[in-house]
Chain A
Amino acid sequence: KNEVEQSPQNLTAQEGEFITINCSYSVGISALHWLQQHPGGGIVSLFMLSSGKKKHGRLIATINIQEKHSSLHITASHPRDSAVYICAVRGRTGGGADGLTFGKGTHLIIQP
């Protein structure tokens, strides 16, 4: 069973700062997801990665398969980025057998 660890658990920063959230997992995966969850529960998929790097607007996600590590970066952070960011992985066996394994999330607060 995969273990997914995120750091930090909580992060408070000032508007405009560069933000990095880290995710480590214990066994091989077929894909890694970064998700955003706002108060009230709704989850939005930000990225799905199996290698390299992806960029969408001010968000950048990278993954290092050999080191079993991924990072989510936010450039020019804004108060509306305040949310819980969750890392989730799907095992290499893939398909429906395992579902996604989630980290506990990083609670990000961006202050004006």
Chain B
Amino acid sequence: ETGVTQSPTHLIKTRGQQVTLRCSSQSGHNTVSWYQQALGQGPQFIFQYYREEENGRGNFPPRFSGLQFPNYSSELNVNALELDDSALYLCASSVGQGLAETQYFGPGTRLLVL
């Protein structure tokens, strides 16, 4: 039990739609990272938020955006969904903005785009 929850657990959308995925972190965990994991692959870094500001981004287009709230919850928004966006989306929270902090992963949201 990592103390990180994600909702929904599963989601089916059609191409072109928009989706919002949610993550709730442990109290005091002011850093949250989002990852995309395609089937059979390792997770890929989407972006990270620290104290409600984006402070790092992987190789994902602008239609992937996020928000972090003062209550340690966060959102990942994806616009204009494409078939290749079908994946497991993981959020991970940690304390601070350090070089080597332990990350606590949520169970993930499995998104299927038809």
Listed in ascending order, the chain A residues whose CB lies under 8 Å from chain B are: 4, 30-31, 33, 35, 40-45, 48, 50, 86, 88, 90, 94-105
Contacts and interface: CB of A to CB of B under 8 A. Distances in A.
Nearest to B88: A41
A101 B103 CA distance: 13
A97 B35 CA distance: 14
Contact of B2 (A33, A44, A97, A98): A44
A105 B42 contact: yes
Contacts, number: 81
Which residue, A31, A42, A96, A98, has most C-beta atoms of chain B within 10 A?
Answer: A96
Interface string B52-71: 00011010000000000000
Contacts of B102: 45, 48
Nearest to B107: A42
B97 interface: yes
Nearest to B33: A99
A40 B90 CA distance: 12
Given A95-B56, A95-B97, A42 B42 contact: no
B100 A41 contact: no
Given A30-B99, A98-B56, 16 more contacts: A4-B42, A40-B107, A44-B105, A45-B103, A45-B105, A86-B42, A88-B43, A94-B100, A95-B55, A96-B55, A98-B45, A99-B35, A99-B45, A99-B48, A102-B42, A104-B42
Interface residues of B, number: 34
B110 interface: yes
A97 B56 contact: yes
A96 B50 contact: yes
B93 to A, nearest CB: 11
A94 B98 CA distance: 7
Contacts of A33: 103
A90 B43 contact: no
B55 A97 contact: yes
B72 interface: no
Interface string B13-31: 0000000000000000001
